[in-house]
Chain A
Amino acid sequence: MSRVLAALATLAIVASSFAVTSNVALGHEHRRVGPYTFVVGWINEPAYVNAANGLSLDVTETSSSKPVEGLATSLQAEVIVGGGAKKLALDLATDEESPGHYTGAFVPTKVGDYIFHVFGDVGSTKVDERFESGPNTFDGVVSTDQLQFPDRVAANADLSARLDSMQTLVIAAIVIAGLALLASVGGLVTRRR
């Protein structure tokens, strides 16, 4: 009985080691595109706002799991925020130690969802795919608020929002001051009459 348990434990350890050493991260989206499998996610996960990161793309042949190399020139990628409010073309770079693995570096500056648009050719297959972060794919960009120590630094977006609200207050103050000035001038004119 103990031999059976030991064998099962060994199998479990071996199986888990495959999972750990696999070059495919768990927080990546897998998608079959023609005869190929695309795996898309972030280079570094979790993806923190204002930290260097980028697109992580692996392309393999679905039937043989063989990495597909040489796509840095035939494939293009861009990162999109929201409904196309802002787009950034990414320079795909290859990794000699990981065939079939491509990266496109950038620094995400907003918390939330990002869309990676990958398009071009893989062999004779036309590719035009959008990979969107989400609970069922790969995580979006998250705030670093919970990690900051000892002082918390406000995110750029927060600072921008605060400046906007300050601007509103300043405009309101200027209007009130202008009205007060007009009233006092009017009072002076009235008194002189």
Chain B
Amino acid sequence: MRHLAVIVACVLGGAVLLSGAAEAHANYVRSNPAADARLVKAPAEIRIEFSEPPDPKGSEIQVLDTATGKRHDTGPVTPSGDPNGLRVAVGLIGDGGYVVAWTATSAVDGHTTKGNFAFVIGNGPLPPVPQVAEAAPPPSLLEIAGRALSYSGIALGLGTAFFVLFVAPAGIDPRRESWLLCIAGVLVVAGSLMLIVDQGAKLPPRLGVMLGVRAFAGLVLAAVSVTPRLALMRPVAAIAGGGVMTIGPLGTVRPRRMIALAAGIAAAMTATLVSHATALGSLESMALDFVHVLSVSVWTGGVVALLWCMLLASHDDTAEDARALGATVWRFSVSAMIATALLIAAGVLQAFNRLVLINDLYETPYGVALAVKIVLVLVALAIGALNLLRWGPRLRAGIRARTALIRDTMAETGIFIVIIVAASVLTALAPPAQPSASAYDQTQHVSGLRLEMLVASGGAGRNTYELRVHQGLAPVTGAEKVAFRFTMVEHDMGQQELVATERAAGEYVAEGSPTAMYGTWKIQTIVRLAGLEDVSTVFTVPVSAPGGGGSTAAPPLTIGPYLVIVLTLFAVVVGADGNPVVGKKLHATFSGPSSQAPLDAVEDPATFGPGRYKFDVAGLDPGTWKVTLAIGNEGTGAYSLVVSR
């Protein structure tokens, strides 16, 4: 009974380690009409673009008249044709303020997100945007349980198959691995069914297919454990392994284990295919996620297999027994070390994409869950290292150490249980790094506050400025004052101030036209909280000329009968303090549709303004160019420049 509890705990621990990798939320990116837009005539439809593919069937867009509360959206929500976009038709509406309340269901994992934005037709005021109580509702207990079960099954099946194929000695009792594979199969099937039931009628088709594949893989795992004769058939092994497994020694000796391994890998693949990485459409993220899932499975499932199939089934009464057990432990330790190295490498690389600041590790729910997992993985690694360095050598020297090894492996189990308690709820949250609808979105951590500055448009003129203020895990509400002060870097245009109002919890918004001229602007944010000193920092915001991009067309020249348009490329170098940096050597190299010689920048503070460097480009062929800028020997950076005809 105690042994069974150990297995269950290990399996659930592995589940939680896995579950952190799979999150997807369709968040608002942009819309037409834009949020807070002021229109001269009524729109015929509302189009919203999300960060991830939404499922129209489970999504909703309501257009509400704030004066009467009447709905004006007509017809169903349909794909808009934009990437990750939805649309809904709007009936005839007159001047006034309207709120668009949207609900999006991710086509990837079925998670629901909600939000509101407002627009106004005519000269009236913008209506207040109602707060959404749960913008990303936490998953139901059924979903958490379903995910935990299916992921634990994946880890157990894959880890066991890997262990018995590549780590365990040849004489291992096949009945014990059958138990593990059977449990794994049942867990995967049960978990997949629970996820399908949880989604109910709004189950996105793609998610349904993925869960179906996962359940089938679970059935295969269960089948190979109870019908070994069927699994011994060579064609089945060939199909499961894509033919590769029929080659050489892999082909005939252990087909049932290979089928189990293939089924485990297939199930693991479905975990990646419903993850945040897949939703973002990045092959690199998907590869990292898959490596993460595989390595976690090999490690945690392997620990269970080592415990159940070897440590609890063998003896070290004689020196020879101890040496044999020591050799197995050594092989598993090497496998586990490689798996954990891959796990950590993939996890760190994923964290770079998902965290904005290092402070996110303790100031966002996702980061806290990640930090808990990192700490517990490190502790589990330390116990693994103890097994490797202390008990392993003893066993290999013929000294009894099996009891101590079981005790330490159970300690790892205890860590997995703590992981379950700490992370089972928090892992269901979206990572801090999310696509933004704003032209400018930067985050700084100042005096204990997390300040995220968003500027809606990148052009000069009227704009919306938003500061999101968080302290720890909570938004900072009721600030005495939140102000933006605007100073232009290149020219002395004085200083202007906008005082923000709190639109939603921790979201302070101001609207105005302080950045009336294109160039580089310093926006000093000031947050005043009762009883505290002001928290102030500076964001450097580029404001582009009409047409956008980094290139600007000078006024056309009339030379004889010709109109000459000179393409000029400016670079503004700004220091960490937000001030322009002069006296640097800038060098640009170009790669694109045709050849363009490298250029050195010309600096003329009196003419261009301080810190402003000009590259005179005779002309670039239409297309997308990659421009690599170098500042002396201090570093380089590249960006894309689209030249249209």
Contact = CB atoms under 8 A, between A and B. Distances in A.
Q: Answer yes or no: are A and B bound together in one complex.
A: yes
Interface of A: 81-86, 110, 112-113, 134-136, 190
B532 A85 contact: yes
B359 interface: no
Chain A contact residues: helix, strand, loop or mixed: loop
A112 B497 contact: no
A162 to B, nearest CB: 15
A83 B532 contact: yes
Given A82-B528, A83-B480, A135-B485, A113 B496 contact: no
A85 B495 CA distance: 26
Interface of B: 390, 480-481, 483, 485, 494-497, 526, 528-534, 536
A172 B480 CA distance: 36
Contacts of A83: 480-481, 528-534
Given A113-B526, A134-B497, A136-B497, A84 B534 contact: no
Nearest to B389: A190
A134 B536 CA distance: 13
A110 to B, nearest CB: 8
A82 B483 CA distance: 12
Contacts of A82: 528-529, 532-534
Given A135-B485, A135-B497, 11 more contacts: A82-B529, A83-B480, A83-B533, A84-B531, A86-B533, A112-B526, A112-B534, A134-B483, A134-B485, A134-B497, A190-B390
Top 7 closest A-B pairs, CB basis? A82-B533, A135-B495, A85-B533, A82-B534, A135-B497, A83-B530, A83-B528
B496 A135 contact: yes
Given A113-B526, A135-B485, A81 B497 contact: no
Contacts of A135: 485, 494-497
A2 B528 CA distance: 57
A83 B533 CA distance: 6
A37 B495 CA distance: 25
A113 B390 contact: no
Contacts of A110: 533
Contacts of A85: 531-533
Nearest to B483: A134
A190 B531 CA distance: 55
Contacts of A112: 526, 534, 536
Nearest to B530: A83
Nearest to A84: B531
Contacts of B483: 134
A113 B536 CA distance: 10
A95 to B, nearest CB: 30
Chain B contact residues: helix, strand, loop or mixed: strand
A115 to B, nearest CB: 9
Contacts of B529: 82-83
B71 to A, nearest CB: 42
Contacts of B533: 81-83, 85-86, 110
A86 to B, nearest CB: 7
B495 A113 contact: no
B448 to A, nearest CB: 12
27 contacts: A81-B533, A81-B534, A82-B528, A82-B529, A82-B532, A82-B533, A82-B534, A83-B481, A83-B528, A83-B529, A83-B530, A83-B533, A83-B534, A84-B531, A85-B532, A85-B533, A86-B533, A112-B526, A112-B534, A112-B536, A113-B526, A113-B534, A134-B497, A135-B494, A135-B496, A135-B497, A190-B390
A81 B480 CA distance: 13
A160 B196 CA distance: 57
A112 B447 CA distance: 15
B383 to A, nearest CB: 14
Contacts of B530: 83-84
Nearest to B577: A145
B69 to A, nearest CB: 38
A176 to B, nearest CB: 14
A82 B536 CA distance: 10
Contacts of B390: 190
Contacts of B534: 81-83, 112-113
A170 to B, nearest CB: 19
Contacts of A113: 526, 534
Nearest to B481: A83
Contacts of B480: 83
Nearest to B528: A83
A160 to B, nearest CB: 12
A92 B497 CA distance: 30
A82 B532 CA distance: 6
B538 to A, nearest CB: 12
B481 to A, nearest CB: 8
A177 B385 CA distance: 20
Nearest to B479: A83
B282 to A, nearest CB: 34
Contacts of A84: 530-531
A81 B529 CA distance: 11
B361 to A, nearest CB: 15
Q: Identify which of A83, A112, A134, A136 gathers the most chain B CB atoms within 10 Å of its CB.
A: A83
A40 B319 CA distance: 91
A99 to B, nearest CB: 33
Q: Identify which of B494, B526, B534 gathers the most chain A CB atoms within 10 Å of its CB.
A: B534
A110 B535 CA distance: 12
B502 to A, nearest CB: 15
A113 B532 CA distance: 13
A53 B14 CA distance: 64
A47 to B, nearest CB: 15
A81 B497 CA distance: 19
Q: Identify which of B496, B497, B528 gathers the most chain A CB atoms within 10 Å of its CB.
A: B528
A190 B393 CA distance: 13
B523 to A, nearest CB: 13
A40 to B, nearest CB: 17
